[in-house]
Amino acid sequence: MRLFVAAEIGERLAGRAADLIRELEKRAADAAPRARLTWLIADRLHITIKFIGDVDDVRAAAIVAALQPPLDVEPFDLTVAGMGAFPKNGPPRVLWIGVEPGRDDLIAAEREISSRLTPLAIPSERRPYSPHLTLARVREAAGLRSASLLEGLKDRSLGTTRVDAITLFQSRLSPKGPTYVPLLRTALGRRT
């Protein structure tokens, strides 16, 4: 099974993100009609904290056990704001909206999750963790440019939500796209 850990953003922020995605779709179609993008849909939106990948049932059980105790991170407010693209220059590959405040809390959660999973031979990322909400993946830019696409949107805010748990998801792939099944919600809050 394919696993990842994420912070859920709730229906209200997911709805606002869906509105922003529709706006970006129109802008992209007008700016670069031949561009091919895969847009995320509201019920699949989340902020990935740790991608684990494919594991067997035995390893999945060990991951669940490792993530069961509460994280040593207090519940926090997370604001989804600030549009951007990866890479910063040239044709975009990913369109995203950032996290601030709440960024440092997500980074702390990622560090603890990674330290719990390292003994299970799940490698840490090579690049520093950069919390963001992915809105689209660009399959073929065909003239699409980040600067014009994101003009006037760089300071857009979707709002704030409370994060009091992180979720271990199983991603089930199908021709209709992935389905994310929550396997475990790990509470936030220092252990006593």
Q: Which residues form the catalytic set?
A: 46, 132
Q: Report whether pLDDT(192) > 80.
A: no
Residues 103-158 have pLDDT tens digits of: 999 999 999 999 999 999 998 888 899 999 999 999 999 999 988 889 998 889 99
User: Average pLDDT of 15-41?
Assistant: 95
Per-residue pLDDT at 5 exceeds 70: yes
pLDDT > 70? residue 98: yes
Q: Angle 124-126-129 (CA atoms, 0-180°, nearest 5)? A: 75
Domains, the chain, ranges and CATH?
Answer: 2-187 (3.90.1140.10)
Query: SS3 for 21?
Result: helix
Mean pLDDT, range 57-70, rounded to an integer: 97
Predicted local confidence at residue 55, as pLDDT: 96
As to burial, measured by CB atoms within 10 angstroms (0-12 exposed, 13-18 middle, 19+ buried), residue 38 is exposed
pLDDT(87) > 60: yes
The mean pLDDT of 21-40, rounded to a whole number, is 95
**DSSP for 144-173, written as a single string:** --HHHHTTTTTT-EEEEEEE-EEEEEEEE-
Strands 46-54 and 165-172: unpaired
Question: Is 5 or 174 the better-scoring residue by pLDDT?
Answer: 5
pLDDT over 70 at 191, yes or no: no
